[in-house]
Structure formats: C-alpha cells, structure tokens
Amino acid sequence: MALAAGLVAAPGASLAVTSSPAPDDAAVAGRVAQEMPRVIAWRRDFHEHPELSNREVRTSGIVAAHLRKLGLEVRTGIAKTGVVGVLEGAHPGPTIALRADMDALPVTEQTDVPFRSRVTTTYRGETVGVMHACGHDAHTAMLMGVAEILSGLRAQLPGKVVFIFQPAEEGPPDGEDGGAPLMLKEGLFATHRPEAIFGLHVFSTLPAGVIGYRPGAFMAGSDGFQLSVTGRQSHGARPWQGIDPIVVSSEIVTALQTIVSRQVDLTQNPAIITVGSFRGGVRGNIIPDTVDMQGTIRTFDPAQREDVLARFERTVTHIAEASGATAKLTLSGRPNPVTYNDPSLTKRAVPTLTRVAGEGKIREIGLQTPSEDFSYFAREVPSLFFFVGVAKPDAAPGTAADNHSPLFYIDESALPVGVRALTQLSIDYLTGKM
C-alpha cells in the first residue's frame, strides 16, 4: 500500500510527518559551530565545580534552568538530582531519548588546566578531591548544546526528543539508590517512552574526534565486592601466636587472578577481577585482626558471571580456612548489566556517524571492559552507545591518561563531533533517514 504524501517510513520507527524539509548537514554543522563556545564554557564550569553521585545539585540546577529557557517540558528531582526535558517537534512522529551523565569521581586532579578542580569533600570517612575524571562534564555540556540546537529546529522536526540528564552513573553512595535503574523505577519512560535511545562517552583510548562503536555486546557487566578476612591479632615479632590476615589476604589477591588466567575460557569472553582497595593494620609491629578489601568483577555473559562468582567465593573461603582465618564476601553496590547495542539500530546509525566524523574516523572496536549503567536503558528500548575519542591527536597510542586517572584530559576539539553526532542521529531518526 502506498504511503500518503508527506509520510516517511523509518525502518523500525513510527511514521514521521515531514511537511517541512529536514535541515541539511551543512546547516546542522553551522549550528553546532555556533553553539560550541557555550558548550565549552559549560564544560569548563562543570569541570571546575564537580559533584559526586547523588549530590549533583548545582549541575542539575544549571541544566534545568537551561532546558526551561528553551521552552521544554522539564521534570526535576527524578532519582534525587536527575533532570528530564522533553522537546515536542512541530509534527507528529516517533519519540527518541538522548542521555548524559552528570556525576564526578573521588579523585584529586593533577592536570594543569586553568579550570582544574580544587573541590574536596568527605567520601567514606576520608577527605578526598573531587574531579570529572571520566568526562561526564563534557557529556552534560554537549547534551545541553544538542538541546539548544534541536530546539532551534523545532519547526522542522517531527516527534519528540527526551533529554535525560542522569545522576550517579558511577554508582550511588553506600546505602543509597541512584542512577539509571532508579530513574526507570521512578517512571522515566512512563509518559514518554522512546523507540530508541542514544548515548556517548568520551574516551582516552581514541584520538580526538574519532568515533568507536560495536554492535551487540559492547561494554562489560560489573559487580562490586567487599571482602573481609579475619585472623587473630598478635605482636609482629611473634606471628605464630596469631593468624595473619595480611598474609592470607595477599594469597587471596594472587589466587583470584588465576580464576581469570587459568579457569575462564578467555577465547569466548574476557573477564577481570580487580582488587582496588586493601586495608588492614595501624602499626608496623602489630599483626591486625582484619583486612578489608574492595574491588570489581567484569564479565560479558550471564553464565560466565555466575561461574566467576562461584569460583571467587570458593577460592577466598578455602584459602582463609587453610590458614585458620575466615573470609566474608559481599557483593556491594549496584551491578551493571552488559551494555548492549541493538545490531539493527547500530547498522542504520553507522552512515550518520560516518558523515559526522568523516571517512577514516569511525571504527568498529572490540569489547570494552569498563561498564556503564546506560545498560539499564538499553534493556528497555533499542539503544546505541558509542565512544568519542578525546586523546590529543599527536599522542602516541596508549600514552594518554586513562578515564578515572587524576591526569585525565579532554582535547576539546572532540566536543563538536559529539554534539553533532547526537544532533544528527536525532534528526535522521526522527525524519526517517535512518
């Protein structure tokens, strides 16, 4: 059956009315260029004033004020500090969502940029620095820019765009809920359920402006853990009178690595076990009662996850018992599922991303072991999550400071690529070009 005049059928999308011509690529690129000074100013301001998970009060206030100024329908306070804005196009059409995260990390910044963070706070009982060491300042600023650009094109757009500014992607504080799962629990998609959702992450492993993507499984699932090993305190000069939990814990840390290197079939999927915190004792001549450890487990398959967790618990229990100690393992925090890119949506989006980045600047990349709670959104609706490189173009491969490093640096020449990518994906999807 032929479609009525003015209707365009987008594969996998609703019919979109396009009574006004869609803006061409050159017009979009021009609007992006015009918006970039504001995007960079926002990004630098957020970088200088970072806020930890579930504490993004200043950031969310700036975001909400901006979206209201654009005339969007704005909801605040979702998942504590989250902000959602809805842009109504001038014509009927599909609904899509775009997501940015807002929280920073307990990292003391060591870069020399003039807008570096000097913020400190108390985290788990310690005074720590606070830094946007993962680039969420850039994500927030870029999506604010996208909202402004698309608002300016409202008369030419069908459908709706839901702008999601998410708190606590790095995980809520101990004892609190937060992040993507809490936004969904509080009805994020109840009123405006998208047909597709797009998100990006700046990443130091790619040169500035290069886009990296992967269909299907993209980023690892993650589980946090806490492990407490209890021995018996004694004088450091007479260790035989006690049970040394430091030695036992050291054996456990080493043995855990054999789960990955000797017990998991790494030809099927990678897996990682990392102990990131190891605390025990207060003096050099006292063997303590207890050592406490924290860490993370990364897997790419549900069955593999269950197998690794079972091996983990068996390993720590038996090593502790062999020395007369005890071990208590607790999975902590919020687990993240594998971040999965819908293969069909990804295939349809690649031509758009290629137009944005340019030939030779878009790469299909391998499995990525960091995790993302964007994965919760991806379980609800078809999604595409991709990387935008931010390493200095002349940096030797592998030399740029990694995300979460106190030296993490964003080459701001990459930001227009991120803004244009989200803008163009929105336009192409809504107008049936994808």
pTM to 2 decimal places: 0.91
The residue-averaged pLDDT of 241-247 equals 98
Residue 353 confidence class, pLDDT cut points 50, 70, 90: very high
Q: What is the mean pLDDT of residues 115-127?
A: 94
Q: What percent of the chain clears pLDDT 90, i.e. is strictly above it?
A: 91
* Residue 103 annotated to the active site: yes
pLDDT in tens, 32-82: 999 999 999 999 999 999 999 999 999 999 999 999 999 999 999 999 999
What three-state secondary structure class fits 148? helix
Q: Which of 204, 222, 201 is closest to 386 using CA atoms?
A: 201
pLDDT band at residue 333 using 50, 70 and 90 as cut-offs: confident
Report the candidate in 341, 227, 337 with the shortest Cα–Cα distance to residue 273: 227
Contacts of 408 (CB under 8 A, 6+ apart): 111, 131, 133, 134, 135, 204, 401, 402
Least confident stretch, 14-23, 221-230, 416-425: 14-23
Give 2's pLDDT tier (boundaries 50, 70, 90): very low
Judged by average pLDDT, the poorest of 7-21, 309-323, 379-393 is: 7-21
Alpha-helical regions (H) of 206-286: 245-258
* The residue type at 280: G
Q: Which residues contact 33 (CB under 8 A, 6 or more apart)?
A: 416
DSSP-derived letter for residue 170 is: T
pLDDT tens-place string over residues 129-165: 999 999 999 999 999 999 999 999 999 999 999 999 9
**What average pLDDT does this structure show over 224-243?**
98
SS3 category, 166 = strand
d(CA 54, CA 345): 31
Tell me the per-residue pLDDT of 360-395, one tens digit each, with 9 for 90 and over.
Answer: 999 999 999 999 999 999 999 999 999 999 999 888
| Closest among 189, 150, 16, 186 to 72, alpha carbons compared | 150
Q: CA-CA distance, 280 to 289, in Å (whole number)?
A: 8
Place of tokens 């594998």: 338
Characterize the bridge pairing of strands 234-235 and 126-129: unpaired
User: How many other C-beta atoms are found inside a 10 Å radius of the C-beta of residue 285?
Assistant: 8
Per the model's pLDDT, the better-predicted residue between 340 and 22 turns out to be 340
Task: Give the pLDDT of residue 41.
Answer: 98
- Is 90 exceeded by the pLDDT of residue 7? no
The answer, yes or no, to whether residue 93 has pLDDT greater than 50, is yes
Judge contact between 130 and 119, C-beta under 8 A: yes
Residue among 374, 401, 398, 399 nearest 385 (CA):
374
- Please, are residues 86 and 194 in contact by the beta-carbon 8 Å criterion? no
Average pLDDT of 349-367?
Answer: 97
Q: Write b or e for each residue in 73-107: b if 16 or more Cβ atoms lie within 10 A of its Cβ, otherwise e.
A: ebbbebbbbbbbbbbebebebbbbbbbbbbbbbbb
pLDDT (average), residues 300-312:
96
DSSP 3-state assignment of 232? strand
Band (pLDDT 50/70/90 cuts) for residue 265 is: very high
Residue 245 has pLDDT above 60, yes or no: yes
Assigned token pair, 118? 């000097």
**Strand (E) or helix (H) holding 384:** strand 383-391
Question: Residue 84 pLDDT more than 70?
Answer: yes
CB burial of residue 282 (10 Å; 0-12, 13-18, 19+): exposed
The residues that bridge with 99 in the sheet, in sequence order, are: 164, 199
Give the position of tokens 């807008």: 115
Mean pLDDT of 165-173: 96
Query: Hunting for tokens 């020395």 — which residue is that?
Result: 323
Cα radius of gyration (the chain):
24
The CA-atom distances, in angstroms, between 378 and each of 196, 260, 363, 373, 383 are 9, 27, 21, 9, 5
On the question of pLDDT at 9 being above 80, the answer is no
Contact 129, 117 (CB under 8 A): yes
The per-residue pLDDT for 22 is 82
pLDDT for position 18 = 45
Query: Which of 35, 51, 103, 109 is an active site residue?
Result: 103
Residue 125: pLDDT band with limits 50, 70, 90: confident
pLDDT at residue 334 in the model: 87
CB 133 within 8 A of CB 403: yes
Query: Which residues lie below 8 Å from residue 318, measured CB to CB, with a gap of 6+?
Result: none
Q: Which residue among 109, 169, 342, 373 is the active-site one? A: 169
Mean pLDDT across 114-121: 98
- The two tokens of residue 112 are 């020399």
Please, what are the domains in the chain? Answer: 7-219+338-430 (3.40.630.10), 221-335 (3.30.70.360)
